[in-house]
Amino acid sequence: MTLAFVFPGQGSQSIGMMKGFDGNAAVRETFEEASAALGQDLAAMCAEGADAAVINATINTQPLMLTAGVAVYRAWRAAGGAAPAVAAGHSLGEYSALVAAGSIAFADAVKLVRVRAEAMQSAVPEGEGAMAAILGLPDDVIVAACLEAAQGDVVEAVNFNSQGQVVIAGSKAAVERAMALCKEKGAKRALPLPVSVPSHCALMKPAADKLAVVLADIQIAAPQFPVIHNVDVTACAEPAQIRDALVRQLYRPVRWVETAQKIAADGAGVIAECGPGKVLVGLNKRIAENAQHVALTDAAAFDALKALL
């Protein structure tokens, strides 16, 4: 059966998130490589008993989640698991997918996402931006509510995560106005998210410009298997196209519904989430109902995945 891998992004991190892989050599070596690249102990940062505030800081979350996704992928391959026919990642997870596909060297990617996180945080001072999840309202109604609520500020629909679940982002006051409007228009819930950066909206354009400068010096190869990019729902083979997709991803929406639909439509019968948590499995079950879904949250899940293939 055709296999697809999807890699989670920010929001899936947690204290003790790699406990299911205790003693796994590939996981340990991957965290050691990332720690050496950044000069800090990433494994200790997310170990049981660590400070949740530290791993939830964007500049730490991004390299941690990249490393976790790559570590699980390497452990899967070391255990005799097959390479996927296609891959994708949710926002930051796209970088994990590109590393897995051999498009970006892991050490380069770790440093790159740290720069990405720093650029995002500096683009909007903490407390001035916001994000919120809107549940139970059609996409077009949410988009219209954002347009009405903007009033000269920025608020946009930025994560199309599943049918009936859309995240909006922008300046704090505009997001609050949009949340109120969405409730008036019948949203079941409008939940503010505990984030310090309003990702994937126009406020991230300065961060994207900084990222573009750094990306220009990063060696990028054609992926060994297709990686579907969030911004266009297409797979790119040319390094210049990949750089462009990663830059635009910062200030354009994550089109996850379309991404999961494309993966399924192209023949993936099994979609495995490669990294901590089960966020993408939860979304994908609602989007690609006919596929089998597995979360690789521990080494035991490898056997379950192999049994499906």
Catalytic (active-site) positions: 91, 200
- Contact at 8 Å (CB) between 18 and 46? yes
Tokens encoding 290: 């006919």
Other C-beta atoms closer than 10 Å to the C-beta of 53 total 8
- Contact at 8 Å (CB) between 132 and 190? yes
- Contact at 8 Å (CB) between 131 and 199? yes
- Distance (Å, rounded) from C-alpha 307 to C-alpha 227? 24
* Nearest C-alpha neighbor of 79 from the set 305, 280, 287: 305
CA dist list (Å): 205 to 96, 108, 231? 22, 22, 14
Tokens encoding 193: 């998210």
Residues linked to residue 165 through DSSP beta bridges, in sequence order: 135, 162
- Contact at 8 Å (CB) between 113 and 92? yes
